[in-house]
């Protein structure tokens, strides 16, 4: 997403008080590298994490796109 749009989205979120997901990354899939090896597509993630048929912990946000933007952080 272009930087200017990202900035606008951030302002919008702040305005709504929705700081929950803002700049806040979810748990990283690198905590479980064996399970997640070679997985890169959202559709693959949802095969195991969709709340209707979870194999792993279900996600509260199956409608999000780009799962790895928030779930591929280095483990600190
Ligand atoms: C905008 C960032 C963002 C995106 C995009 C995103 N997530 Fe998350 N995710 C989070 C955050 C923050 C949490 C921790 C808070 C929570 O559980 O809702 C989380 C938690 C989770 C959890 C752990 C739930 C638990 O109970 O332990 C799973 C599984 C998950 N996400 C899967 C996904 C999948 C699959 C996708 C893509 C369809 C996705 N996420 C997209 C931010 C994101
Ligand atoms: C083959 C099934 C499978 C696929 C595909 C898969 N996962 Fe997972 N995932 C799991 C399982 C099972 C766990 C739980 C591991 C454990 O707790 O030991 C897990 C754990 C997680 C967690 C950690 C939840 C927590 O509470 O710590 C996140 C986040 C997550 N997966 C996101 C993703 C994302 C994003 C993708 C796509 C890139 C993905 N997963 C693809 C099975 C899968």
pLDDT of 12: 58
Structure-block tokens of residue 26: 């979810």
Probe ligand 1: pick from 26, 42, 58, max atoms within 8 Å of CB?
Answer: 26
DSSP line for 8-57: HHHHHHHHHT--SSTT-----GGGSHHHHTT---HHHHHHHH-TTS-SSS
pTM: 0.83
Task: Dig out the tokens for 21 from the structure.
Answer: 């997901």
**Nearest-CA residue for atom 42 of ligand 1:** 26
Query: Minimal CA–CA distance to 19: which of 27, 10, 28?
Result: 10
Domain ranges for the chain, please list them: 25-76
pLDDT of amino acid 22:
52
User: pLDDT tens digits for 22-76?
Assistant: 566 788 999 899 999 999 999 999 999 999 999 999 999 999 999 998 998 887 6
CA of 13 to the centre of ligand 2 (A): 27
Q: Ligand 2: does its nearest atom lie under 6 Å from the Cβ of 59?
A: no
């Amino acid at each position: 997403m272009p930087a200017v749009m990202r900035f606008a989205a951030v302002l919008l979120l702040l305005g709504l008080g929705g700081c929950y997901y803002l700049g806040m990354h979810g748990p990283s899939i690198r905590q479980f590298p064996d399970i997640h090896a070679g997985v890169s597509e959202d559709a693959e993630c949802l095969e195991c994490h969709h709340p209707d048929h979870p194999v792993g912990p279900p996600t509260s946000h199956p409608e999000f796109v780009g799962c790895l933007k928030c779930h591929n952080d280095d483990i600190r």
